[in-house]
Amino acid sequence: MKNSTLYLLRLGEISLKGLNRDSFEKRLKQNIKQKLKGYRTQVNRQKGRIFFEISNECPKETVEMALGTTFGVVGYSRCLRCEKEITVIRETAKRLIADEPFNKGVGTFKSIAKRADKSFPMTSYEIDCSLGEVVHEMYPDMTVDVKHPKLTIHCEIRDQAYLYTTPKQGPGGLPVSTAGKGMLLLSGGIDSPVAAYRMAQRGLKMDCIYFHAYPYTSDQALEKVKTLASLIAPYLQGTRLHVVPFTEGQLWIKQHSREDETTLMFRAAMMHIANTISVSQEGSCIVTGEALSQVASQTLESMAFTDSMSDQLVLRPLVGMDKQEIMNLAMKIGTYETSILPYEDCCVLFSPKHPLVHPVKLVEQEHYRSMAIEPLLEEAIKNTEIVDFGANGVERK
Amino acid sequence: MQEIRYFDSAATTIMSRIALDVYQQVATTYIGNPSSLHAEGIRAKEKLEQARDNLAGLLSVPKGNLTFTAGASEANAIVFNSLVWRLQKPHVIISNIEHSSIKEYIRLMKQLGWKVTTLNAPGGFIKAEDLRKALTKQTRLVSLMLVNNVVGTIQDIQALVAEVRAYEQEQGGRKIHFHTDATQAFGKIPFSLETLGVDSAAFSAHKFHGPKGVGFLYNNDPAIENLSRGGGQEAGLRPGTENLPGIVSMVEAAKEAMVNVFDHEKHVMQINTLLRQRLSFLPSISPERSCSPYILNVATRPLPSEVFTRMLYDKGFCVSSGSACSNNAKQKREGVLDSMQITPSLAKSSIRISFSADTTTEETEALAEAITTLIQEHA
């Protein structure tokens, strides 16, 4: 391909797969291409590596954004390819290190050569020495440190020679859609986007569901959730947000349940709706951001009760995590700042003063049934609005 | 589009026709910078000083005591920042119901090692004896607002100033600066700066149908210093090129408001009384006495104010949620209502309805009906 840039992608866990490895690699290739639609690309899979070539029309930031948010990619680096001949390799190395991050010309470095092609006349050590010399010639202030180098120059001798510098980190994990599809309960808080990230990292594709109770919760709260959906969309390879009108349901529950049970009943009704919509979207699990004992509706007993409202498997990737850990991850994936905006996801009017902390499943199930809320929930499902977000995070109109 | 009926004039008012015309006229006719030496600059300077003259006349104060600012928050900041440069760490007294442009200074002041006393205002009123008790030999600044922006209570500033002056006398005459934030008072309730006896006062044009982003500081204390440094405009107290169209327009709006202050007050009082009667089934947070008729704060229990505000907007009415605190029960509440010792359940459901001279009886009747219906629906 002319006028293009070559990237070398390192794959982590995928490399450990056996006979089905091909399907994981194929999905990863599709996922990357999906994010870079509209640009000429060429993908060449080699053992444990993907060589990915993209037209220079695509800005570097777009490529890096795509690779940095695609699960399955452990690391990536811009890569130069040349003929397997040491003088050519040396010239190519010069071109490579004329750019970032070597071009500052200070600190320590190391060269790591690997020969997949053992017929190459030099040993790996000899290649390293030769490339070290190139670096010294260009940046005399740089010194070699083989144990803890700041920067590394890599040279792989395969069908051709491939040169690249210190790889940038990718998100790791497995490519989205290799593990099936689920439905995420997205609330607007800190936890649920993190839960989405964790499950997507294991290859789960997800739609999101949000329960909107206007005017008890504001339209700003809905906008916040849309922003969160757009922020996690690149990790999820695009997502569909289902906005369920929940005002009638909430009012019904408030009128027909005991005060201390209201939150539990909300959760149960939400689970019921999420289950129904997930089934209709061909999903096979529900994902929530619950963590054990974080609030009254997240105790063992409460979760056992709300679980019983869904036929599908309910996954809670954050269940054993500390709040600070969750917050750190939220900061890392860039959702924290949006999550802490002060728009409430539940009106104080519906929050019981002393919620039930240790409900008895059978009793609550009976209470839930006796409310006869199903017709209202069916109506809510019917009136659900859908907002689609592309793999680039942009809302599709 | 739905017709909007505006009951949030304490947040901002709609610019008057005259003020808008004057703004446009000055912006297009007076092109020069008042600091420029050419004829256009001199014309602009003359216009600026004429505006200051007019404003001084309206307030019956020396024109040299008036500094044009970007609004009341900046005017407050100039006074508070003056103390930052003092070597000795002074003692400052404010009240718990001050505007955030003053309350936010508490944190900075404490960081700088100042002593700060925050007076409570049970029911919205600051007691003279509380102020008296709080005064110390180190007190250098007392700042108490004239009309509260959340509930509308009017402080007896004259009596509070008298307390401070009496204390000054006792202590041998060392000066204590008395500042008042008069933003919600100007053009709404009649007052005289001279009678109040304050050293400085802050004002904002957009609260009396003038343009946004302009206001003024009245100050007779030479110890007050500038907030920012620059080209020496406004006698050095507020550097930066003067917002001439804004200033002239503000003075025009001020004139309009002052000339009609009694008529407007009477009209708004009628509207306020009407609404109080119609909503007599709701707890009123604004007291009936010593309260600006322009503000009526009521509790819409059990609905939280934030929710009620949205519901009213859906019916075409703009009001404010009365409490500055969030509806989140978990958050620590620091609102004005809290410090007024209003019970949390009332505070959470308090909405601020505020009027202007343009508010009509019909609109008010419609608002009363809308509130009544909503409360009945959610009782």
Task: For residue range A157-191, list pLDDT tens digits in order.
Answer: 988 999 999 889 999 999 999 999 999 999 999 99
Map out the domains of chain A with their CATH numbers: 4-169 (3.30.2130.30), 181-396 (3.40.50.620)
Listed residue (B322, B300, B297, B323) closest to B372, CA to CA: B300
Judged by CB atoms closer than 8 Å, whether chains meet at B329 and A215 is answered as no
- The burial of B289, by beta-carbon neighbours within 10 Å (0-12 exposed, 13-18 middle, 19 or more buried), is given as exposed
How far, in Å, CA of B14 to CA of B211, rounded? 9
The enclosing H or E element of B142 equals strand B139-143
Residue A355 CB coordination number (10 Å) = 18
**Would you say A190 and A330 are in contact if contact means Cβ atoms under 8 Å apart?**
yes
pLDDT at A343 over 90: no
Is residue A90 classed as helix, strand or coil in its secondary structure?
Answer: helix
Give me the amino acid identity at B132.
Answer: R
B331 and B230 within one domain: no
Residues 6+ apart with CB under 8 A from A5: A53, A54, A56, A60, A63, A78
SS3 A241: strand
Decide which of B258, B275, B296 is a domain's last residue: B258
Q: Residues B155, B302: one domain? A: no
CB contact under 8 A, A215 and B328: no
Alpha helical stretches, state H, chain A: 21-35, 60-68, 86-97, 124-138, 191-201, 219-232, 247-256, 262-280, 300-307, 323-333, 336-339, 361-371, 374-382
**Contact B379/A at CB under 8 A:** no
**Residue-wise pLDDT tens digits, B183-232:** 999 999 999 999 999 999 999 999 999 999 999 999 999 989 888 878 88
Residues B178 and B267 in one domain: no
Residue A4: beta bridge partners?
A55
| Residue B202 and residue B349 share a domain | no
Q: Residue B222: which domain range?
A: 17-258
Choosing among A347, A348, A350, which should be mutated to test the B contact, i.e. which has the most B CBs within 10 A? A348
Based on the domain organization, do B244 and B284 belong to the same domain? no
The answer to ipTM > 0.90 is no
Alpha carbons A238 and A41: distance in angstroms, whole number: 20
Catalytic residues of B: 325
pLDDT mean over A33-48: 87
Q: How far is B301 from chain A (nearest CA, A)?
A: 10
Three-state SS for B182-199 is CCCCCCCCCCCHHHHCCC
How high does pLDDT run on average in chain B? 91
Residue type, A13: E
Give the DSSP letter of residue B332: P
Which of A100-104, A247-251, B223-227 comes out lowest in average pLDDT?
A100-104
The amino acid that residue B106 corresponds to is I
The verdict on B77 and B203 lying in the same domain is yes
Same domain, B277 and B199: no
Provide the number of structural domains found in chain B: 2
Cβ atoms of residues B321 and B350 within 8 Å: yes
Q: Which of B219, B236, B258 is the last residue of a domain?
A: B258
Residues B184 and B156 both lie in one domain = yes
> Of B258, B285, B312, which closes a domain?
B258
Strands B66-69, B215-219: pairing is: antiparallel
Is B264 in the same domain as B204? Answer: no
Amino acid at B177: H
pLDDT for the residue A44: 86
Q: Is the pTM of this model over 0.95?
A: no
Shortest CA gap B307–chain A (Å): 5
| 8 A C-beta contact, residue B68 and residue B216 | yes
Q: What is the number of H-type helices and E-type strands within chain A?
A: 13, 16
Q: What is the CATH number of the domain that holds B306?
A: 3.90.1150.10
Distance CA B160, CA B106 (A): 21
- With vertex at residue A236, the alpha carbon angle to CA A230 and CA A238, rounded to the nearest 5 degrees, is 55
CATH number at residue B185: 3.40.640.10
Name the minimum distance, in Å, from the CA of A216 to any CA of chain B. Answer: 5
